[in-house]
Amino acid sequence: MSTTTITNHFSSESLSDESSIHSSSSPSQVMYSQYHAMLDLPLFGLVDPLTFLNTEMLDVVCKQQQQQQKPVSSSSPSSSSSAILWPNYLCLYLEYTLPCDPLTTLSHNLAQLPQCSFDPMATMMITRERPSPKKCPPLAGLIQTSHMVLLAKVKLDLNLNLSDFVFSNTSFFETRDRRTIECTTSIYSFGNIVLESKEIQQALWISEGKYMYSFVYVNQFFDAFMKGIRSLQSWEEIDIAIQHLCIVQVFEDVEARCTQSKSSLLSMAYEFERGNGTMNVHVMGDSDDLTGTPHIEDMASII
């Protein structure tokens, strides 16, 4: 059994009067409660994923991107401690039906992280890149308070020709011992938090020394976001909307967080861009590893 609550942090008072991107019937104008069948619990929230966009902001970002240069990627072998919680499998996808066969549900993968080894230190690298603080404000604090911080670069394989679809996800995380884990998911756009959700999951025993957890990836927000970007006027505007989106997930052991110095078992920061449907995950170093290292800027092309 899990518990999920969603809170919208974006005030309608901050919207630009000149915005021409979102419709007049914004979903953030109403409060709703939707039953989530898989988790057998209600989901509450306010969702309006495009209210942070306006034409003036798009023009400013376009000019900034033209003046920037592509950063150089740098990474070195990891020497961090072993993982406590680790992503086992992640997949973001759209479900849809064809007009000729409405009873058959098809899927289109937006991005997929294949099944990962639980020993990240054997295969992962410490990346010296990180999102700009303007794009992901809490990142510096997470590096200090989390047992491990991962950066996921998500390259969305967009298909905007689907007449109707529903966003969904498959998200599994793994531990070696039984825990009760709370996942806090925060969505940032242009550095502003627009949505936050909390979910608690009990462990599902798979085998000796292997416990699995499945978390919802703010499906309602992404469903509205994916449908909303279809109203934008160009691929450049779509890229800006996607690239200025940053998601942070913080996983805490509910029973141990009051006694441990590093309360978070795992933190994950997600960056997005258009691409081939892959999801690459890197271990982020601590503040000493990243001293003097330039940030990844919010550019049209991210390594």
pLDDT at 5: 55
Q: Where are the beta strands (DSSP E) in the chain?
A: 3-8, 32-36, 41-45, 75-77, 86-98, 101-113, 125-127, 149-156, 166-175, 180-189, 192-202, 204-207, 210-214, 245-253, 264-274, 279-284
Contact 266, 251 (CB under 8 A): yes
Global pTM value = 0.68
Low-confidence ranges of the chain (pLDDT < 50): 10-55, 58, 62, 68-81, 122-123, 287-303
CA distances from 236 to 8, 55, 258 (A): 27, 12, 46
Would you tell me which CATH number, out of the four given (1.10.3210.10, 2.70.50.80, 3.30.56.10, 3.40.1350.10), belongs to the domain 3-71+84-284?
2.70.50.80
Alpha-carbon gap, residue 141 to 296, rounded angstroms: 17
pLDDT at 188: 93
Contact 45, 6 (CB under 8 A): yes
Residue ranges of alpha helices (H) inside the chain are 55-67, 139-145, 219-228, 235-243
Residues 241-275: tens digit of each pLDDT: 999 999 999 999 998 876 766 668 999 999 999 99
Smallest Cα–Cα separation from 232: which of 55, 94, 109? 55
Residue 13, φ and ψ in degrees, nearest 5: -70, -20
Alpha-carbon gap, residue 130 to 198, rounded angstroms: 24
Residues 102-140: tens digit of each pLDDT: 899 999 999 998 766 555 554 455 566 667 777 887 777
pLDDT at 46: 41
CB atoms within 10 A of CB 44: 14
Alpha-carbon gap, residue 88 to 105, rounded angstroms: 25
Residues facing 299 on adjacent strands: none
Alpha-carbon gap, residue 187 to 48, rounded angstroms: 12
